[in-house]
């Protein structure tokens, strides 16, 4: 029987931070059992888990071994002995964990190979890794993959590489990983290596309602892989209901028995999957001729390099005595725009609430006209070391701000609320939480803007957003400018609004968009 364990996060911030430091998030049984089912492949033998935690996968293996009369033994690693000691409380015997070594799996990995490996590796982002360890990990990747991976790869990526390198011939591996595994800057190099050397059997994704880790801001995927010659196709699954045994039954049936109510399963070409991104559905559909870039141009919002300094409230500007003409109205956070419009009212409301709305917009070619108040403020910035900050150091003079014409539309691309387009009636400029969306044809007037607004807001256009960008557990999507331009706009949406024939600026796109569009601003995580 599947235990429908509800995943709970500790409520205090400190406790959650501690979990994050060590990447301690436990896998629910309805996920662990199908993963173990796959790697055991109906065989007796040794199951290896490189990040044992409280032993979820060993427990799942005991259930499956019991159901099938298999003789399964366990080995593994865990860095935290206190966590491992809880395995007993969670239903394992001392004998089950006797071969679990306390230590760092990636840097002190076992010298032998395994037939069956299963893991939910610690999801520790690159900025939480200390520089010494990061350098060692980079070296490890260079050694195993043949080249170092982009520095934004977190510890879980190195777990994946290391574990793959420990697979015996025809051995099987199941890993549950965050979506950045296929969406990060390092992903093309990582997957080129994996798909040259291993067979990818299946990728299992989850709709937001079915996420195995509710309330955790990641979009997890399961990868089922074999140490065998690569194959041209793989199975791509979307699981739409949590805590059922549909996945386990599907794996047990040799990927045949599909519960259509809970699972959507398709066969995909590996080449297409890698181009589209393994976390996304295949795209575009056959009836898509247009992409958003046929109608609009997309740029990221302004990157100030130091929001605390350049972006301020009216009170602060007044207190500093810097005249209004040195500022432009700006919007900083998606949370500051509660609906689909930014009106003058929206801005006034933010000002009343003491939210920053003024961006110091200096070009630097009229320094001699700066009032003393502004000069003093800039000196303060120099004193704070701002001119040396990475982004700012590239500017001359250091306080020169990026310029943007206020865009008629914005795209809010990350936030708890679903990604959405916003009409910018107040003509503000946005910071980097938004993308700027400009009509390609700037001279067509209001009516044209209205038509574009309707295209942007059409439910079928919005539905296509889930096919691009980086995905998060709660359904939020982060999209880079070039990718947003590749958003498919269904033909019927364009036709509905009677766009003049000459609006068809380009021939319909046929190719899949490459999932590599990254913009200049550091993504950090």
Ligand X SMILES: C[S@@+](CC[C@H](N)C(=O)[O-])C[C@H]1O[C@@H](n2cnc3c(N)ncnc32)[C@H](O)[C@@H]1O
Q: What residues line the site for ligand X (CB under 6 A)?
A: 22-27, 49, 51-53, 56-57, 77-80, 83, 104-106, 120, 122
C-alpha closest to that of 194 among 225, 166, 171: 225
- Residue at shortest CB range from ligand X: 53
Q: Residue 443's Cα: distance from chain center in Å?
A: 37
CB of 328 to ligand X, least distance (A): 45
Residue count (the chain): 525
Note whether 249 and 30 are within 8 A (CB). Answer: no
Whichever of 88 and 258 has its CB closer to ligand X, that residue is: 88
Q: Which residues does 125 contact at the CB level (< 8 Å), separation at least 6?
A: 154, 525
The answer to whether 169 and 198 have CB atoms below 8 angstroms apart is no
Nearest approach in angstroms of CB 58 to ligand X is 9
CA distance 207 to 450: 33
Quick one: 19 or 414, whose CB is closer to ligand X?
Answer: 19
Residue 44 CB, nearest distance to ligand X (Å)?
A: 22
Q: Among residues 25 and 186, whose Cβ is nearest to ligand X? A: 25
CB of residue 101 to ligand X, shortest distance in Å:
9
Shortest Cβ 106–ligand X spacing (Å): 5
- Tell me whether residue 79 or residue 302 sits nearer to ligand X (CB atom): 79
Nearer CB in complex with ligand X: 216/274: 216
**How near is the Cβ of 24 to ligand X at its closest, in Å?**
4
Q: How far apart, in whole angstroms, are the C-alpha atoms of residue 161 and residue 22?
A: 19
Residues linked to residue 409 through DSSP beta bridges, in sequence order: 423, 437
Q: Least distance from C-beta 120 to ligand X, angstroms?
A: 3
Closest CB to ligand X among 14 and 507? 14
The H or E element containing residue 57 is helix 56-68
In 3-state terms the chain splits into helix, strand, coil percentages (rounded to 5) of: 35, 20, 40
Q: At what angle do helices 155-165 and 187-197 cross, to 10 degrees?
A: 10
Cα–Cα nearest to 50, from 127, 108, 130: 108
162 versus 423: smaller Cβ distance to ligand X: 162
62/33 Cα distance (integer angstroms)? 10
- Please report how close the Cβ of residue 261 comes to ligand X at its closest, in angstroms: 26
Name the residue nearer to ligand X (CB basis): 214 or 282.
214
Name 411's bridge partners.
Answer: 421, 435
Strands (E), 232-384: 233-239, 263-269, 290-291, 296-300, 311-312, 327-331, 341-342, 358-360
CB closer to ligand X out of 5 and 441:
5
Sign of the torsion angle spanned by Cα atoms 501, 506, 512, 516 = negative
> Considering the complex, what minimum distance in angstroms separates the CB of residue 84 from ligand X?
8
Closest distance between ligand X and the C-beta of residue 237, in Å? 19
End-to-end CA distance of the chain: 38
Number of H helices, E strands in the chain: 19, 22
Instruction: Using the minimum distance from each CB to ligand X, give the nearer residue, 120 or 288.
Output: 120
CB atoms within 10 A of CB 266: 11
CB of 242 vs ligand X, minimal distance in Å = 16
Residue whose CB is less far from ligand X, 179 or 347: 179
Is residue 168 within 8 Å of 186, Cβ to Cβ?
Answer: no
Could you tell me the smallest distance in angstroms from the CB atom of residue 103 to ligand X? 7
Q: Which is nearer to ligand X, 25 or 499 (CB)?
A: 25
For residues 77 and 468, which CB has a smaller minimum distance to ligand X in the complex? 77
Whether the Cβ atoms of residue 485 and residue 513 lie closer than 8 Å to each other = no
Nearest to 52 by CA among 2, 106, 101: 101
CA distances 396 to 4, 207, 358, 379, 401, Å, are 59, 46, 21, 15, 10
C-alpha closest to that of 96 among 46, 33, 27: 46
CB of 25 to ligand X, least distance (A): 4
């Amino acid at each position: 029987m599947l235990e429908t364990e509800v995943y709970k996060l500790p409520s205090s911030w400190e406790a959650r931070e501690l979990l994050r430091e060590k990447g301690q998030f436990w896998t629910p049984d309805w996920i662990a059992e199908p993963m173990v089912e796959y790697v055991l492949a109906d065989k007796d033998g040794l199951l290896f888990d490189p990040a044992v935690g409280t032993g979820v996968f060993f427990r799942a293996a005991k259930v499956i071994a019991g159901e099938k009369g298999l003789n399964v033994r366990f080995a593994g690693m865990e860095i935290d002995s206190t966590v491992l000691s809880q395995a007993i409380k969670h239903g394992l015997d001392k004998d089950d964990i006797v071969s679990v070594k306390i230590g760092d799996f990636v840097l002190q990995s076992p010298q032998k190979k395994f037939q069956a490996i299963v893991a939910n590796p610690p999801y520790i982002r690159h900025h939480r890794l200390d520089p010494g360890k990061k350098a060692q990990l980079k070296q490890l990747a260079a050694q195993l993959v043949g080249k170092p991976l982009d520095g934004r790869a977190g510890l879980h990526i190195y777990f994946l590489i290391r574990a793959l390198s420990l697979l015996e011939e025809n051995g099987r591996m199941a890993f549950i990983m965050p979506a950045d595994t296929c969406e990060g800057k390092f992903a093309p190099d990582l997957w080129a290596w994996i798909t040259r050397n291993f067979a990818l059997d299946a990728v299992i994704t989850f709709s937001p309602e079915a996420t195995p880790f509710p309330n955790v801001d990641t979009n997890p995927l399961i990868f089922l892989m074999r140490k065998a010659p690569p194959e041209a196709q793989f199975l791509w699954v979307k699981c739409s209901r949590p805590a059922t045994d549909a996945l386990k039954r599907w794996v047990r049936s040799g990927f045949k028995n599909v519960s259509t109510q809970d699972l959507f399963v398709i066969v995909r070409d590996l080449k297409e999957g890698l181009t589209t991104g393994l976390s996304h559905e295949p795209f575009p559909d056959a009836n898509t001729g247009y992409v958003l870039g046929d109608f609009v141009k997309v740029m990221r919002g302004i990157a100030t390099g130091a929001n605390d300094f350049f972006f301020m409230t009216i009170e602060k500007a007044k207190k500093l005595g810097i005249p209004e003409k040195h500022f432009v109205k700006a919007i900083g956070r998606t949370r500051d725009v509660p609906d689909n419009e930014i009106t003058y009212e929206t801005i006034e409301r933010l000002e009343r609430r003491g939210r920053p709305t003024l961006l110091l917009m200096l070009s630097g070619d009229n320094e001699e006209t700066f009032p003393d108040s502004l000069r003093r403020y800039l000196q303060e910035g120099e004193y704070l070391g701002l001119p040396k900050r990475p982004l700012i150091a590239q500017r001359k003079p250091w306080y020169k701000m990026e310029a943007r014409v206020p865009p008629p539309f914005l795209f809010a691309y990350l936030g708890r609320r679903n990604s959405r387009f916003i009409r910018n009636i107040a003509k503000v400029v946005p910071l980097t939480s938004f993308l700027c969306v400009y009509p390609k044809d700037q001279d067509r007037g209001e009516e044209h803007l209205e038509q574009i607004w309707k295209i942007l807001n059409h439910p079928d256009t919005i539905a296509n957003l889930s096919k691009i960008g980086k995905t998060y557990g709660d359904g939020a999507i982060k999209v880079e400018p070039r990718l947003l331009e590749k958003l498919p706009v269904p033909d019927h949406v364009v036709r509905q609004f009677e766009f003049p024939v000459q609006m068809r600026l380009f021939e319909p796109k046929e190719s899949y968009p490459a999932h590599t569009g990254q913009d200049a601003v550091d993504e950090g995580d």
